[in-house]
Chain A
Amino acid sequence: MRHTLKSALLAGAVALAAPLGAQAQDEISFLVIDYEAPGMGDWWQLLVSTYQKNTGNTVVPRNTPASEYYEQLLIQAASGTGADILIVNPNNIGEMLAAGQLMPLSDMIAKSGIGDRIVEGGWDSLTVDGTTYALPITGRTLELIYNSCYLEEAGFSAPPSTPQQFLEYAKALTVTDDSGRVTRYGANMVNANEDPTYEMLLMWSLAHGGSYSDENGNFTLDSQPVIDGLNYMKTLYDAGVVPKGMTETDQRSLFATGGTAMTIDGQWQFPFIEKNNPDNFDCYKSALHPWDGPGTGGVNMALAINAATDTPEAAWAFLETAASEEMQSAFSDHSPYIPYGVGALTDEQRAARPYLEPWIASSGSAHPVAIPGHADQFNEIWPIVVDAILLTLRDGVPAEESLAQAQAKLVECCSN
């Protein structure tokens, strides 16, 4: 009640405010992920300091670690204590909208002309029913990263490029000690009770020529490609070449410190390895995901404005700063993510980070993580899919059976 009144007033205020950001000494809060982490955190800090310098406003960062972010976003929104600027992504934007938390940005984007500063298609996943709600900042897909030193030791001269090869490599690269316990895994594959596991099956379904839904938005979890994908995961799991039950974040540090030979993950691995395992950094190489067809991914951090903000002009000016050429061109000096600014990634920056190439090549064609048409239900859908995956991997339920159950649950809970 208070909120609707407030946002109506604010919408008016925004329309009236002529030169944006002209009103100085505002204070805006910013829910930011890993503000102090090297790389992306450096860019967020640069953005905040640039904005403060340009506008005279103050930004109060509410730093939250990646693992707490989603819970914090929703809890703060639910209790009406949300920050003025929020990081959102296509997986939670629908949910935030349903609760009336996001300010529509289309008018301001049109007026300011920043629409063209973002690469084509960049706005798409942040636009609902023709209205855009967030500015895309970072993109990511999952590509192959491998420890080339281990591959050479095992006699492989090139990285795997098909699922079959990936499996063979993983087997050959797994090392056990005298007691038969694995000391190095061939590959990472998240299979813990968390949403990255959902994306694993999506990847291997794409690799087998399918996906979680058809072009009409109907769920196809019981289709052959998804069954094949899960059976493929089961093969990797049963072969003992992937760590079992380990969380995504555990697997990342395992890979970065040499405990795994290959992973399919984001580009953020590289700065982390550079920092924590510098001696072996040169061993780590990247390649396109090992199958034909798209990888998974898309926008993973976008900036939105809280519908209940007291300072919409100051908040909008923050988004404008983020989209500015100055900030976008500096993006890749800091962050390993793929930026959405037009021409933001220069040849020089690409030369400085040669490992980025697979992500650049793949980002335009990536398959979205949330099921198209069901993005606002992502947080209801992923647990159902992950339950099915774990049922097959851990309890040996045939893939057909667990996926048929999941399909039935999805149809019941989330059909349009």
Chain B
Amino acid sequence: MSARRRFGGAVAADIFKAGGIVVLGCAVLFPIYWMGVIALTPTGFSRSLSSVFPADITFQNFVTLFTERPMLRWLWNSIVVAALSSFLSLAFGTSCGYALSRLKFRGAGLVLILVLATQMMPATSIVVPLYILFRDFGLLDTMQGMVLGHISLVAPLAIWMAKGFFDSIPADLEGAARIDGCTRLSAYWYVALPLAMPGLAAIFIYGFVTSWHDFLFAKTLINSQSLWTAATGISSFRGEYFTLHELQMAAALTFALPVVVVFLVMQRRIVSGALSGSVR
């Protein structure tokens, strides 16, 4: 009797849970779904949709996006800036993260706090002085300037994450290498670095995505439309002479898609990266 009740209760709880997942999941996915619906609606007519399902499906918005707007150029700019800034940040950040993880030196705690603080402070605090400095250095409205600006976003993250990955690799291996006569540098280069490779790939992706998502620096440090990244280009659709939601949503989807694909492929690694102590 009591066993049956317990069994019935468990089934009820499972049904309740499944229902909860479905309801919550639909709510969470709805904005993404709605983006798709609007992007597939003929230009100008998403307002007259009468249900949550698309009426006439068209791919014209995507065609317009790539033929009449510099979407390809913007995406390319985004790729260049994101790849360069995250590669450079990785190059500088890995060794720094290693030092913070392995070496005991005075001021290590301070360096760590500084790195973390720069990652955590609002970017609006830095963008105004950066703007003025870049003006003086002639870096305003240049790709180089934007890469540098994005390094200020990505590098602290890279250092912090690299420290996390090295922390998770046992130091014994390097110790063994040292006993075999390796210098610290070669122990780092030949032992620690290869072991951290998967982690470094995650850092690169994180950095890439951070730069890809950035809006503030791209908007502020770049004036010319031809140098805009996709983030600025897409945000400008809100406030053109005529605002076209359908085109806007097509652009938004196109912009978000690469990151979603990367995420699907690398889900596990990205999740463990997030857990290793840093978030965006």
Asked whether the complex places CB atoms of A and B closer than 8 A, the reply is yes
Q: Which residues of A contact B (CB under 8 A)?
A: 34, 37, 62-68, 72, 75-76, 79-81, 177, 183, 247, 249-250, 252-254, 256-259, 268, 272, 276-277
* Chain B hits for A34, CB < 8 A: 240-241
Taken together as a complex, chains A and B put the C-alpha atoms of A79 and B241 apart, in Å, by 26
* Chain B hits for A250, CB < 8 A: 243
* Chain B hits for A37, CB < 8 A: 241
A62-B223, A277-B44 known; A81-B243 Cβ under 8 A: no
Question: Which residues of B from 22 to 55 have beta carbons under 8 Å from A?
Answer: 43-45, 47-48, 50
Taken together as a complex, chains A and B put the C-alpha atoms of A276 and B242 apart, in Å, by 10
A253-B243, A259-B48, A277-B44 known; A63-B224 Cβ under 8 A: yes
Name the residue of chain B whose CB is nearest to the CB of A68.
Answer: B236
Give chain B nearest CB distance to A244 CB in angstroms: 14
Give chain B nearest CB distance to A48 CB in angstroms: 15
The one of B47, B223, B238, B241 that contacts A252, using a Cβ cutoff of 8 Å: B241
With contacts A63-B226, A79-B140 known, what are 9 further pairs, Cβ within 8 A? Answer: A65-B236, A66-B239, A66-B241, A75-B223, A177-B50, A249-B240, A249-B242, A249-B243, A272-B241
Interface status of B135 (Cβ within 8 A of chain A): yes
Give chain A nearest CB distance to B20 CB in angstroms: 29
The one of A254, A258, A268, A277 that contacts B241, using a Cβ cutoff of 8 Å: A268
Interface status of B131 (Cβ within 8 A of chain A): yes
Classify chain B: how many residues form its interface, as a range.
Answer: 20 to 34
The one of A66, A79, A257, A276 that contacts B131, using a Cβ cutoff of 8 Å: A79
Give chain B nearest CB distance to A348 CB in angstroms: 27
Give chain B nearest CB distance to A280 CB in angstroms: 11
Asked whether A276 lies within 8 Å of B43 as measured between CB atoms, the reply is yes
Taken together as a complex, chains A and B put the C-alpha atoms of A72 and B236 apart, in Å, by 13
* Chain A hits for B267, CB < 8 A: none
Question: Which residues of B from 241 to 261 have beta carbons under 8 Å from A?
Answer: 241-245
Name the residue of chain A whose CB is nearest to the CB of B46.
Answer: A257
* Chain B hits for A62, CB < 8 A: 223-225
* Chain A hits for B45, CB < 8 A: 257
Interface status of B141 (Cβ within 8 A of chain A): yes
20 CB contacts below 8 A, A to B, read A34-B240, A34-B241, A62-B225, A63-B224, A64-B225, A65-B239, A65-B240, A67-B238, A76-B223, A79-B132, A79-B135, A81-B223, A249-B240, A249-B241, A249-B242, A252-B242, A254-B47, A256-B242, A259-B48, A272-B242
Name the residue of chain A whose CB is nearest to the CB of B134.
Answer: A79
Taken together as a complex, chains A and B put the C-alpha atoms of A75 and B131 apart, in Å, by 10
* Chain A hits for B132, CB < 8 A: 79
Taken together as a complex, chains A and B put the C-alpha atoms of A66 and B236 apart, in Å, by 9
Asked whether A253 lies within 8 Å of B44 as measured between CB atoms, the reply is yes
Asked whether B48 lies within 8 Å of A67 as measured between CB atoms, the reply is no
* Chain A hits for B226, CB < 8 A: 63
* Chain B hits for A63, CB < 8 A: 224-226
* Chain B hits for A249, CB < 8 A: 239-243
Which among B135, B225, B238, B241 has the greatest number of chain A C-beta atoms within 10 A? B241
* Chain B hits for A258, CB < 8 A: 48
Taken together as a complex, chains A and B put the C-alpha atoms of A257 and B141 apart, in Å, by 37
Question: Which residues of B from 166 to 218 have beta carbons under 8 Å from A?
Answer: none
* Chain A hits for B47, CB < 8 A: 254, 257, 259
